[in-house]
């Protein structure tokens, strides 16, 4: 099944970056954030959740336009805040293992 681009959430690695303050885009608690998140790690977490998604590596986070870390488009199956929290927990859990 193809991803409907009109019905997706956008996740940026910056949402989960421990080195960023909330004012620069971090959306999870620092205790749940990770060092150097990337779209591949986000993709792995989304696969664990069984969510359809697509990586767009050429995209740049607007507040960090000089760095091309990419983004991930994710099907809308829950609120964005729930999605960000669940992905953050999986990323943090996988970093500790």
pLDDT at 50 > cutoff 80: yes
In angstroms, rounded to a whole number, what is the distance separating the alpha carbons of residues 14 and 20?
Answer: 7
pLDDT at 79 > cutoff 90: yes
Q: What is the pLDDT of residue 32?
A: 87
Provide the CATH number for the domain around residue 30: 3.30.56.30
Does residue 51 belong to any structural domain of this protein? yes
Number of independent structural domains in the chain: 1
Does residue 67 belong to any structural domain of this protein? yes
Does residue 24 belong to any structural domain of this protein? yes
- For 57, the domain range is 19-72
Does residue 87 belong to any structural domain of this protein? no
Mean pLDDT value of segment 66-76: 90
Q: What is the pLDDT of residue 44?
A: 96
Buried b (16+ CB within 10 A) or exposed e, 27-43: bbeeebbbeebebebbb
pLDDT at 47 > cutoff 60: yes
Helix axes 39-49 and 80-96, enclosed angle (nearest 10): 110
pLDDT at 96 > cutoff 70: no
**Residue that has been written with the tokens 């009109």 in this structure:** 6
Mean pLDDT across the chain, nearest whole number? 91
């Amino acid at each position: 099944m193809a991803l409907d681009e009109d019905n997706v959430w956008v996740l940026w690695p910056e949402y989960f970056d421990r080195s960023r303050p909330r004012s620069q885009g971090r959306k999870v608690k620092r205790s749940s954030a990770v060092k150097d998140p990337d779209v591949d790690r986000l993709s792995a977490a989304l696969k664990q959740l069984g969510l359809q998604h697509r990586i767009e590596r050429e995209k740049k986070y607007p507040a960090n336009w000089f760095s091309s870390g990419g983004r991930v488009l994710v099907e809308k199956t829950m609120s964005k805040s729930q999605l960000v929290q669940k992905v953050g927990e999986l990323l943090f859990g996988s970093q500790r293992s």
